[in-house]
Structures are given as C-alpha cells and as structure tokens.
A and B are shown apart, each in its own frame.
Chain A
Amino acid sequence: MKKIRCALIGSGNIGTDLIYKIQRSEVLEPVWMVGIDPESEGLARARAMGLKTTAEGVDGLLPHVLEDNIQIAFDATSAYVHAENSRKLNELGVLMIDLTPAAIGPLCVPPVNLRQHAEKLEMNVNMISCAGQATIPVVHAVSRIQSVGYAEIVASLASKSVGPGTRANLDEFTYTTSSALEKVGGARKGKALAIINPAEPPMIMRNTIYCLTDDEPDQDRITASILEMIGEVQKYVPGYRLVNGPLFDGNKVTVFMEVAGLGDYLPTYAGNLNIMTAAATRTAEMFAEEIIKGTIQLPAPEVA
C-alpha cells in the first residue's frame, strides 16, 4: 500500500518517539529527521533507524522536499521557530503537524475534532500539549452533555519525561493548554496546572480533570459520555485509563486519569510523550488516508 512520506523536525524526546509511531503506521513513512546539533543522540538514532538526517535545521531539508516527495512534516522544535518552519514547508505543499505550543493553526484533539480539520484540509494543525491531549477529551465528554462554565486540569509528569524545551517554556504550555480547554474542550473558561515530579521509579503520567457544570450534573449521562470517550482515546493510546471517578460534588465533576505509554523511546511512565506523538500520528494518518484516497489534494508547491 502506498505510504505518505514524512519529515520529522526536532530530534528531542518527541521527535525520536515519533519515529517509532510512524514506522508502525500503514499509511505513513518516516523519511527525514531534522536537527540542529550534528552530535545529537536523536539524529544518531534516526540514522540507525534508516532515516536521512540533516543538522542544518529546516533549511537543510528544503532542497530535498520535492525529490523525496515529502508531504507531511511534524514540528517538535519550539514555539519560537515553528512559524518560520511552517511557512517554508507550506510553500512547498507540505502539510504541517505542529507539536509545539505555537498554535498558529487550528487546535486538534483527534476524537473531538480531527475529522473536521481533515475535511477542510488545514495545512497546519496544532496538537496543543500532552496535557491537552490527555484531558480535553474528558472535558468535551462533559460539555457535549451539558454546558461547562469552568474546566481545570492538573497534569503530573515524571521529571525524566520532560525535555529541556518544555522546562524552559512552561508558561507557553500553560497558556496553550488553558486556551484549548475552552476552544476544543468546550468550557467557557479553562485553566491548566502542570507538576513535574522526580520520584524514582518515575511516576506514570496522571491527569485530574475538574469541570463545573452550569446546572446540576446528570450523573448517568455524564458518566456514560466519559466512558465512551475514554474508549475512543484508547483506540490510539491503549494506556489511557480511568483510575477514580467521575466524582460528583454539587456541580463539580472530577475525573482521575492515568496515561501509560507504549515504551517506544522512553519507558511506559512517559505517557505524556506517548499521547502527544500518538495523537499527532493519528492526525497525520487521517490526512494521509484522505490523500491516498484522493478525497483531498495538497496544493502544488509554490516554488517548483
């Protein structure tokens, strides 16, 4: 079966984990890995896994995009360089999956709104954050039953699973995730909290989701909606699990979740890494399936 050829930009934790996810895909093929440090472990691993690599940043990839027929790129660099990366690759007709907090394109949480984006052929979709991917499905599961005035999430991450980019830019993570709880989750106001825990052995990613409903919550319907949504996420993140709840206190609905990873690049505790790369892969696959079927067509490159 034909596969859509992909480039991965950023050779840190996320970029490296993506290689494993994309290699397993039936419709995607990882071809290029882009870094900025020739000595980086991520680039060495990519080469060992059969990918072409450049340490010259996105500019090192551009001359090869057409000859290697790259159609989808994943950006796992930082919010600050993403816009330039995206502009350059979009010009060449490459669709961009953004895993930084830049969020210049529409926000995507696969079980909530992926189909909409694929139908509209968005050329840049943003994956929000690991915490967003882990919690927004649950917020949406409540808000599709009754209106949610306020949603708050707490993501606890194992220290070993949080790379230097996220650490140095925690505010961007907070802003992007909070805003996505509103735009995609459907809450009128959202707030995101992140905790980095260094316990050994590392703790598995935990997420607590609080929703305040405007009216008294319909416990049976909300519980059923949440359980159904968890099933949808489990299709691409098998380690997505309800630990406790939903717990109802007045208009407050609380859900305690855990996300175990597949153990591809980092061990299973790094559910945060896993849910981000799995969601990005799921998103790219949806686009790839449509491209292969011919239902959507990427624009011709502006510079041929």
Chain B
Amino acid sequence: MSQSNSLKGRKVILHDMCLRDGMHAKREQISVEQMVKVASALDAAGVPYIQVTHGAGLGGNSLQHGFAPHSNEEYISAVAAQMKQAKVSVLLIPGLGTMKELQSAYDCGARSVHVATHCTEADTSPQHIAFARKLGMDTSGFLMMAHLNDAAGIARQGKLMESYGAQTVYVTDSAGFMLPEDVKARIGALREVLNPETEIGFHGHHNLGMGIANSIAAIEAGASCIDGSAAGLGAGAGNTPLEVFAAVCERMGIETGVDLFKLMDVAEDIIVPMMEHVVRVDRESLTLGYAGVYSTFLLHSKRASERFGVPARDILVELGRKKMIGGQEDMILDTAMTMAKERGLLKSA
C-alpha cells in the first residue's frame, strides 16, 4: 500500500461530464431544466468544473450526431447563470465545431474548453486552442482514442498542443480500452516532455470496468485533472463514476475538495432516475472496450442492428477492424448495410 500513501495530500481537479458525455447516453435528450437541476446540485457539492452541451460538443447538433431539444447556447446560458463556484466548460472538436461557436459559448458564460482531436491529429487544433486562450478560457488539448497512439506519439502530440497554448493536455480513453499500465506509460511520457506548469488530465470510459483504476494510475503518473461523470452517465458503459472516484480519493488521501455525500446524492437521486437504460458494462459496451471502438458508437450500433438484422457486436467488431474513429458515426449504418448485403439480409442496389 505504499503507492496509496504516496498520493496522500495530492490535489486533483474533478471535471464532471454527465451533462455532455451523458447526452450520448440520453440520445441527446436532456432538457434545459434537467441540466440546471443537475449542474446546480454538482455546484453545491463543490465540483469545480461542469461540462455541458450536446454530446458531440459545439456544432454537435446534426443529422450525424442527433439534435438536442435546445441549442448549446441555451444550455450554457441557463447553467452558467446558476453557478456559484463551478466553471462551465465545453467540448470543441475541430472539423465539427468552429471558432464562431466557441465565441458564442464564451459569450453565454463558458470559461473552460476541451479542444479535442484524434490522438494523432493534434495539428488540426492550433487556431482553436489559440483562440480559446485569447478569450481567456482554461484551455485543454484533448487527445481522443489515445490507445491508438503509443506513449512517444502521445508525448509528441501533447507537446504540439502545448505549443499552441494548451494549459492542460488530456489522455482520453474514448474506447474504454486502456489498462492502468497503458495509462501510466502515456501520461508518464507526457510528464517528461511537457513544461512543469502544464497540467495533465485523464478522461476514462468504464467499458472494461477500469475507469477508477485507470484514473488512479493517471494520478500516480502525474495527472492532476480527472474527468468523470456522476453515476457514470456517459457514452458506452459510461465515464469514470465521479462519486465512486471521489470516495476512492478520500480513502487514499487525495484531495478533491468535493463533498462526497452530496455527490453521492446527485448520482442516486437525480442522475439514476434520468437514465433511459442502466449505464453499465453490458455485452455491447464491453465489446467497445474489448475491440477499442469509440464509446458513442454504442447506441448507433444497436439501432443499426435492429434495422438491418446484423448483431450490434458484429458491427462494432467490424468498425474496430476498420479503425473507425470518433465522428464517423455515419460509417455505422454504412457498415451495417454492407454486412447485411454480404449476409443476404439486404438487396444490393
């Protein structure tokens, strides 16, 4: 237990994702009223950062990713107005969201942003990171699907994001595929190359049940920002359940500054009753983690499966084999149709 003791007194910043990543698990259908209720409760529990908006972030409202009942501006404005201590953050994926939308999010009260690229494509983010800094936002570079790049590669990509102005660089386990040693290798490599004042973050998914263990491993390797989600509400088997993580931190003496019991109450009394399905490791979300597939693909694959008669697990494994990445949700239906044709379930055009 010497490792646990070595983390005693470490300060970690918690960042809740249930109102952004959780939108995926709700087919983007969370109302403004629900967002305000959840965010206010998280704020009262002392969670310092709360991410809101469409699951795919700024620019996310689309046929590709689904339409939320309200605009991102409506969500951000409504939540930001009620925050007593928490900062509202947003997600921006270049190629989907633009600087115009970031300006608009800032105007509505967002003060922190994850600028996200695939783990090998950091050089699509310089203009967005620089613009976020110009606005004075807390700016993170967010390297998605981090299992698809090795530790040295992640270090190079993180260094690029730092050079554009990112104050924090995230290792993002979008597929919930990584094991603690994978997390440690990547975060350790980042810690070696980044400036000492640049912080490191970890964003986990729970598809292999490793959300907590991976987040602890991240802290051991030098991370100080951890994304999680109350009751785990998020894509796939969900994010690292934030209240569980906070409890583990308390046991280990890691300082998060949150009120654990209040956070537990948010999860149990507010989030769980909102769930349309129990967010857990089931056959399909386990397949995501096992095959290294983007967690958001879960519900899309289930729908494609119902429509074309190809099992969701088969579709997900094929998407993993074809190395499809976040944002390619259109390829789920396309792949299902191609597989259905091969299996004689659909006539060729």
Q: Using CB atoms and an 8 Å cutoff, list the residues of chain A in contact with chain B.
A: 150, 152, 154, 156, 159, 164, 167-171, 174-175, 191, 193-200, 203, 206, 208, 210, 212, 242-245, 247, 252, 254, 256
Contact = CB atoms under 8 A, between A and B. Distances in A.
Interface in B11-70: 62-64
Sort A-B residue pairs by CB-CB distance and give the 5 closest, nearest first. A199-B323, A208-B330, A194-B95, A210-B63, A244-B337
B contact residues, range: 20 to 34
Q: Summarize A's interface: helix, strand, loop or mixed.
A: strand
A170 B94 contact: yes
A212 B349 CA distance: 21
A243 B338 CA distance: 8
B126 A168 contact: yes
B120 interface: yes
Contact of B64 (A174, A210, A245): A210
B333 A247 contact: yes
B323 A170 contact: no
A167 B157 CA distance: 14
Interface of B: 62-64, 94-96, 98-100, 118, 120-121, 123-124, 126-128, 148, 322-325, 327-328, 330-331, 333-334, 337-338, 349
A181 to B, nearest CB: 13
Given A175-B98, A244-B338, A244-B349, A159 B121 contact: yes
16 contacts: A154-B328, A175-B98, A193-B62, A193-B96, A196-B95, A197-B324, A198-B148, A200-B323, A208-B64, A210-B64, A242-B349, A243-B334, A244-B333, A254-B333, A256-B330, A256-B337
A171 B129 CA distance: 13
Contacts of A193: 62, 64, 95-96, 327
A170 B324 contact: no
Contacts of A243: 334, 338
Contacts of B95: 170, 174, 193-196
A170 B328 contact: no
A164 B323 contact: no
Contacts of A191: 62
Contact of B124 (A154, A170, A247): A170
A247 B62 contact: no
Contacts of B148: 198
B322 A203 contact: yes
Contacts of B99: 171
